[in-house]
Every structure is written in C-alpha cells, then in structure tokens.
C-alpha cells in the first residue's frame, strides 16, 4: 500500500490505535545511524490514513536530513496523530501517545509540532521519558523559537555575504511573511542590525507588535511574495514557492524558517534559473531542534546550543559554494550532503559491529 519511493530509506513505520482515547497515530523512524530518531509530533485532521502516512514518511525523512546537516547526534523520525487539535486532543489521548512512544524503547524521541504545545508534551512525558522540548524541569530546553530565529538570522547573514558580498545587513530591505513566534524574534535581530522590515500576517495583533517594536511596514498578505526587497524570509507556511509565486518574486535571496517552502523539488531549479539564492529550509531553521537536542543529552548547555546555531552560517556557505561549483540547485545539494553524512554514519556503524 506504500509508494516505494516514499518509503525510501525508512527503518520502521508503526501504526497505533487506542480505542479508549480514540488515538490513531503513525510513528515513522527514518534513520537512526546518527542516534535515536528525533522529531515533532503533529496533530492534523488528515482526510485519510493514507494522507497521514504519506506525511509522516515525508516529515521523518526531512528530520533525518535536518538533524544530519545540523551535526546532531540524532536520527530522523516523526509522529502524526489523525485528529483535530482543538476538538480531538485529550489528556487520555496524549497519555496513550506517550505509551506508544514508550513501546519503541527510545528509537523515537518526540517533541512539539503543529497542533501540539508544550503543555501537551508535558502530559506525554508523564508516560514516557522519550520526549523533549519540555517547558520546565531539570535540563528542559524551553521555547525553541528564539533559537530557530537566531539560526535564520545567521543564515540570512550568510546568504547576504555570499550573494551580495556584504558583511552587514544595515540598510537592506527584508520581507518577512508571518510574524508569529519565530518571525517576531527574527524581526528583533534584523531591526537591531538596521534592516528595513516589510511584514505580513493574517493576525493584526502580530502585525501591530512588529510595527511598534521594530518599525516594520505592513504589506498585504497577497503582495508579500512579490514585494521588492533584498531578502524574502518565509516564516509562516510551507509550499509558498510554487508555479504561481516564483514568476513574481522580486528578491535576490530567500531565507526563512517555514518548513518545506518549495512546493516541489523542481522549484529549486526555477529559483536558480531566476538567479535567486535559496537557503534550504531544513538547514536554516534547525535552531529549534538544536535546542531540543541539547535537552536529549540530559545535560542542557546553552553555550553548546548557541555554538551549533551559529554554525548554520558556515553550513549554508558550504552549500552555496558547492551548488555554484556544480551548477545545481541548493536544495538538491543540501539533500545530497545530508545523504552523504548518513551514509558515512551507516558505514562507521557497520564497521563497529563487524569489529
Ligand atoms: P506561528 O504559528 O507562531 O507563526 C506563524 C505566523 O504566520 C502566524 O502569526 C500566522 O498568523 C502567520 N500566517 C499564517 N498564514 C499566513 C499567511 N497566509 N500570510 C502571512 N502570515 C500568515 O509559528 P512559528 O512557530 O513562528 O513557526 C513559523 C514557521 O517556522 C512554521 O512553518 C514552522 O513549521 C516553522 N518552524 C518553526 C520552528 C520553531 O521553533 N517554532 C522551528 C522550525 C520550523
């Protein structure tokens, strides 16, 4: 029933159904060569189990690439719960999820994702120790958003240096789509560097904060992807770079935090052909998982986290250079680099087992 291409490289796929709480969930472990598979748990009202299954496979592979490129001792995995986060989520359901995660005996470590907040994660944690991203307790890593934003800020600086030859962001115009948790922290960094901010959001309150605190100018939601700026930073939704939007882009660089910004892989080629430098999303937005990773060691150290987040700059420069040299899109090069890291880890593990 599973598309072979979708299942490519996955180690394990588990389906859980808990009659009493109504839990229906998939947990996918893509790759554990680098360490236990870590990734968020998403609650989403999928139209079918097949849609949920396709999503968990795609997302778990993405986590393997993200964790590998961030240099973390973690593999990639993901959980999806089929349901509405507002109406179907209950303490019983979250506890049942905790027991399901526990049954995998540490092969998968869960954290927050769409539809799951830190309070939910605390409930999951009452049934399993294989969960991270906790808001409180010994070695809790807290809100990942400030770290995600810092990584994006570093990534924007890398892209500006590479594409525009500038060491400073001062005087540049940057359009930020979505000023929620990540977008607000990012605006703060950019504002402090003298950037002219253009922002859009569907929530007026979030726009008001960006205007008042960071002197941002509001752009209509249907104009933000075609506005003239040096950098576009998508920090709201996925698939914003697609057949409809790419022709209208008016920027030199795209560097933002939203996951899966390219609707399809070939949109990376379209960006390259237009001369737009694209910072692969799972590389630039890894700050949050780096912070969570600090918690999984059981010895959270913020200076270790910051060092890793700052290294996103170097990783991106490396990707840009290789993409240019090989005349290939940055998203394809990043995927290949991640696969190389995984292959190396697999070979090292095999050698260790044989010894
Ligand atoms: P969030 O929900 O706090 O913020 C998203 C913002 O986008 C909200 O203010 C929302 O109103 C706005 N938005 C929604 N639709 C929009 C539209 N059509 N046009 C403009 N704005 C719109 O989420 P977040 O935690 O800030 O995450 C932002 C993105 O970054 C998401 O795609 C998320 O998956 C990704 N991400 C977040 C983290 C993290 O640490 N929070 C880590 C990695 C990736």
At 297 the pLDDT is 82
pLDDT in tens, 171-227: 999 999 999 999 999 999 999 999 999 999 999 999 999 999 999 999 999 999 999
pLDDT over threshold 90, residue 30:
yes
Angle between helices 204-214 and 181-192 (to 10 degrees): 20
Q: Which residue of 235, 261, 279 sits with most ligand 1 atoms within 8 Å of its CB, as the best mutation to test the pocket?
A: 235
Q: Which atom of ligand 1 is nearest to the CA of 147?
A: 40
At 171 the pLDDT is 98
108-111: strand order across its sheet: 12-18, 23-31, 75-82, 37-44, 108-111
At 38 the pLDDT is 96
At 327 the pLDDT is 97
CA dihedral 79, 81, 82, 84 (to 10 degrees): -130
pLDDT over threshold 70, residue 87:
yes
Chain centroid offset of residue 187 CA: 18
What residue ranges line ligand 1, CB within 6 angstroms? 144-145, 148, 177-183, 200-203, 206, 221, 235-237, 257-259, 285, 288
With CA atoms as reference, report the closest residue to 126 among 85, 94, 81.
94
Strand stretches in 305-355, DSSP E = none
Q: How far is the CA of 235 from the centre of ligand 1 (A)?
A: 5
pLDDT over threshold 70, residue 326:
yes
pLDDT in tens, 232-243: 999 998 999 999
Q: Which domains does the chain have, with CATH numbers?
A: 12-60+79-124 (3.40.50.10860), 145-285+314-338 (3.40.50.720)
Helix, strand, coil shares of the chain as percentages rounded to 5?
45, 15, 40
CA distance 11 to 77: 10
pLDDT over threshold 90, residue 139:
no
pTM of the model: 0.94
CA distance 86 to 83: 9
pLDDT in tens, 338-351: 999 999 999 999 99
Provide CB contacts within 8 A for 244, sequence distance 6+.
none
At 275 the pLDDT is 98
What value does the mean pLDDT take over residues 239-257?
A: 97
pLDDT over threshold 90, residue 318:
yes
pLDDT band at 313 (very low <50, low <70, confident <90, very high): very high
pLDDT-above-90 percentage for the chain: 89
Catalytic residue, from 78, 150, 163, 196: name it.
78
pLDDT-above-70 percentage for the chain: 98
At 7 the pLDDT is 74
pLDDT band at 134 (very low <50, low <70, confident <90, very high): confident
CA distance 65 to 88: 31
At 151 the pLDDT is 98
What value does the mean pLDDT take over residues 128-134?
A: 92
Chain centroid offset of residue 179 CA: 16
At 1 the pLDDT is 64
pLDDT in tens, 270-308: 999 999 999 999 999 999 999 999 988 888 899 999 999
- Please tell me the residue having the least CA distance from ligand 1 atom 20: 201
At 287 the pLDDT is 97
For 328, the 3-state DSSP assignment is coil
pLDDT in tens, 56-85: 999 999 999 999 999 999 999 999 999 999
pLDDT over threshold 80, residue 6:
no
Q: Which helix (H) or strand (E) holds 305?
A: helix 302-310
With CA atoms as reference, report the closest residue to 58 among 291, 46, 284, 235.
46
Q: How far is the CA of 234 from the centre of ligand 1 (A)?
A: 9
Residue 78 annotated as catalytic: yes
Q: How far is the CA of 178 from the centre of ligand 1 (A)?
A: 6
CA distance 306 to 63: 20
Structure-token pair, residue 322: 């290789």
C-beta separation of 186 from 176 below 8 A? yes
At 296 the pLDDT is 87
pLDDT over threshold 70, residue 2:
no
Q: What is the mean pLDDT of the chain?
A: 95
């Amino acid at each position: 029933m599973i598309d072979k291409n979708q299942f490519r490289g996955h180690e394990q796929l588990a389906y859980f159904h808990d009659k009493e709480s109504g839990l229906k969930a998939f947990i996918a472990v893509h790759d554990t060569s680098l360490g236990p598979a870590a990734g968020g748990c998403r609650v989403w009202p999928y139209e079918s189990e097949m849609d949920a299954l396709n999503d968990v496979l795609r997302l778990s592979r993405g986590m393997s690439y993200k964790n590998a490129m961030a240099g973390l001792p973690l593999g990639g995995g993901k959980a999806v719960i089929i349901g509405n986060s507002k109406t179907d989520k209950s303490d019983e359901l979250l506890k049942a999820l905790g027991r399901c995660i526990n049954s995998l005996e540490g092969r998968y470590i869960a954290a927050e994702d769409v539809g799951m907040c830190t309070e939910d994660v605390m409930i999951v944690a009452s049934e399993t120790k294989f969960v991270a991203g906790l808001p409180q307790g010994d070695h809790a890593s807290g809100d990942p958003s400030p770290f995600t934003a810092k990584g994006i800020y570093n990534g924007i600086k890398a892209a500006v240096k590479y594409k525009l030859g500038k060491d400073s962001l001062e005087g540049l115009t940057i359009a930020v789509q979505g000023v929620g948790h990540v977008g607000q922290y990012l605006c703060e960094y950019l504002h402090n560097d003298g950037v002219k901010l253009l922002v859009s959001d569907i929530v007026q309150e979030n726009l008001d904060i960006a205007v008042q605190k960071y002197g941002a100018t509001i752009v209509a939601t249907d104009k933000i992807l075609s506005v003239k700026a040096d950098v576009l930073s998508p920090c709201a939704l996925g698939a914003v770079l697609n057949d409809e939007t790419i022709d209208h882009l008016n920027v030199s660089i795209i560097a933002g935090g939203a996951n899966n910004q390219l609707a399809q892989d070939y949109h990376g080629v379209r960006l390259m052909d237009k001369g737009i430098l694209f910072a692969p999303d799972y590389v630039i937005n890894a700050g949050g998982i780096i912070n969570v990773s600090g918690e999984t060691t059981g010895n959270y150290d913020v200076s270790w986290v910051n060092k890793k987040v700052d290294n996103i700059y170097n990783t991106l420069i490396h990707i840009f250079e290789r993409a240019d040299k090989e005349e290939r899109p940055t998203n394809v090069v990043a995927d290949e680099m991640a696969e190389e890291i995984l292959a190396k880890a697999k070979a090292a593990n095999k050698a260790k087992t044989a010894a």
